[in-house]
Structure 1
């Protein structure tokens, strides 16, 4: 039987993202953030392409992104409520890590697998932040999927897009548990 890590399994069975709007300071400093970032970079990466990179955004950088949202929302025809919600995602945050998917040419690794790898980095960062005792949440949203916003906000190249923003901070209120999927209704067993 393989070696077990009951603490890690218990963490994964009970982990819970914290709503970004409930996160506040203090936030991890560079020394506290580095192990979280390094954990994220240990994500599955078929072909060792490293089809991602990270951008750490402090309060000032997030305020700059927030200021770009209204113009983006107007161009895209978003409602004032949608614009306010997207703007607040950045304006009310103290720290976020932008996970940037970097599509790389490969005859062996399809683009979709590179996207999956970037998503794995998002989840690994989220879980590493939670395991380190911080509150954390993985967000994206309509603004982050807009090519012009991504290029202006983060100077992304044509082969890059935002996979997600991992917001990290101190949680002000532990969230209530939410209903989880019923394993019996979504798991199939094929034994032959």
Structure 2
């Protein structure tokens, strides 16, 4: 039987992402980031396929990613406002981890379960960062769904896509609490 961890449960019941635009330096260094990546890698992974990988985007990579976002936005006929908003996560970013879904052929594990595993890794990394005292936010954006951007910016292969960009740095301001889902209204109990 697993040991009870009331502190962990309390953390999960009160966790709150920090808006990426409010994150400031410093960001975790490599030795501080590794334990967070290890925690994320313990996510459910039916079939032990490891259908994901990490691409760590350090501060020095952010200007290139911002420029590639702008280039992709122009090619996709995005409005100037859409381009500015999309590139801002890189213009303001200090460190982000791209969680890359890697679809692997499997007779037993459906593609959708591999997608779910990559999503679980995103949430686990986000929660690990928050539990370690960092500010963190899970973002994506139209550029992360654009094949050209993903190949140029992140070197993704044909069987890969971005599950999420987890921005991690220092929290500058605590976000206000927001309304939460009504669990009772979203829950159906089946007893027979």
Provide the TM-score with structure 1 as the length reference.
0.98
**Residue of structure 2 in register with 1:125 after alignment:** 125
Provide the TM-score with structure 2 as the length reference.
0.98
Alignment of 1:33-72 (within 5 A): 33-72=33-72
State the Cα RMSD in Å: 1.0
**Residue of structure 1 in register with 2:141 after alignment:** 141
**Residue of structure 2 in register with 1:13 after alignment:** 13
Asked if 1:27 corresponds to 2:31, the answer is: no
Give aligned pairs, total: 192
Deviations 1:163-188 (A, max 9, x none): 11000000110000000001111111
Specify the SS of the correspondent of 2:168.
strand
**Residue of structure 2 in register with 1:166 after alignment:** 166
Q: Report runs of 4+ in structure 1 exceeding 2 Å deviation.
A: none
Gaps spanning 5+ residues in structure 1: where? none
**Residue of structure 2 in register with 1:156 after alignment:** 156
Query: Distance in 2 between the 1:183 and 1:160 partners?
Result: 34
**Residue of structure 1 in register with 2:83 after alignment:** 83
Deviations 1:63-117 (A, max 9, x none): 2111111111111121111100001111110100010000000000000000000
Query: Distance in 1 between the 2:149 and 2:20 partners?
Result: 21
**Residue of structure 2 in register with 1:73 after alignment:** 73
Query: Distance in 2 between the 1:182 and 1:155 partners?
Result: 41
**Residue of structure 2 in register with 1:191 after alignment:** 191
Query: Distance in 2 between the 1:30 and 1:70 partners?
Result: 28
Gaps spanning 5+ residues in structure 2: where? none
Alignment of 1:90-101 (within 5 A): 90-101=90-101
Deviations 1:132-190 (A, max 9, x none): 00000000010000011000101110000111100000011000000000111111111
